[in-house]
Each structure stands twice: as structure tokens, then as C-alpha cells.
Amino acid sequence: MQKLINIYDTLTMRLAQQNWLLPTLARLVFAAVLAVYFFNSGLTKLGDGFGGVLNPSAGAYVQILPKAFESAGYDTSALSAHHHGIVIAGIIAEFLLPLLILLGLFTRAAALGMVGFIILQSVTDLYGHGQADALGRWFDRIPDAAILDQRALWLFLLVTLIVKGAGPLSLDKLLVARWR
């Protein structure tokens, strides 16, 4: 029995010393599960042509500011510059923040930005789109609620990156090594 305990202790100690493992896996899981989701979501919001980010589609306003767009009679010209700025910032964030995480560049800040983005996305889904049925509940034995269950896992993944950083396979690591 003591031999098993010693093996367990040795493995536990070695795993605890692997500072590269958790952040690397977190970025890999982000790439596999969330990056394509956010990139595709961002693509649905782009307007026509090269300046599609600066001239968002009507769908961008429906997704990001549903109540304000409805109040404006679904006419983008009836919205304020403030509304346009929010939509453009949302589109840029949906592309830029995941890209930064994938590259491992300013990872902690990008992950923190993604946390804010997901919180705003969830609030918009609940109140803007009226998707209260998607909220779900915790501790209910049903793990597929789109907001509480899924997004809690998303946030846990991002908090891991905030706490641990990007890991050794990142531009962050290269920048730190270059500045030393």
C-alpha cells in the first residue's frame, strides 16, 4: 500500500510542477470549442464588402441590440452613433479577442475581455431576446442549459487563462523572453 501512495505522491508532485500543461490545454480547448463559434458568429454580423466591420449587417443590430433596433423600426439609420459604436465594438471583439487567445498574445487581457463579452452576450440573450428558457439551472442533473451550464464552463476555461496565462507556446512567452 505504501508503494502505491509513493507512486501517487510522485505523480501528483510531477503534475503540479508542470506549469505549461493547464494553460496550454486551456488554449487548445478554447481553439477546439469556442474560437470557431465566435468567428462564425462574427461573420454573421459583417456588412458587405471590405468595410463590413464598419458597416454591419442588419443581423448585427438584431443580435447585439435587439430592443433598440426594434424600437428604431429595424432601420439602422434611426439609431444613434452610440448604438453603431456598440455594434462595431462587439464585432471587433468577437474576432479580435479569440484571435489574441489563439495566438497567446496579451492572453490574460483577452480572456478577461472574453469574460465580459460572454456576460454581455448572456444578458442580451436573457433580456434582449427573451430567452429565459435557455437560462437553465445549476444542480438540476440536466447539463445542457445554454446559458448557465455552457457558459459557466466557458468562463471557467477563460478564468484558467486569466490566472495561468497563455503557457509556453505563446507570443506572450516570446515577448517576455525578449524583454528580459
Q: Per residue in 85-136, pLDDT tens?
A: 999 999 999 999 999 999 999 999 999 999 999 999 999 999 999 988 888 8
pLDDT at 26: 95
Average pLDDT for residues 166-180, to the nearest whole number?
Answer: 87
pLDDT at 16: 67
Whole-number Å distance between alpha carbons of 96 and 38: 10
What are 159's three cell numbers? Answer: 478564468
CB neighbours of 161 closer than 8 A, spacing ≥ 6?
23, 26, 27, 30, 101, 107, 108, 111
pLDDT tens across 25-47, in order?
A: 999 999 999 999 999 999 999 99
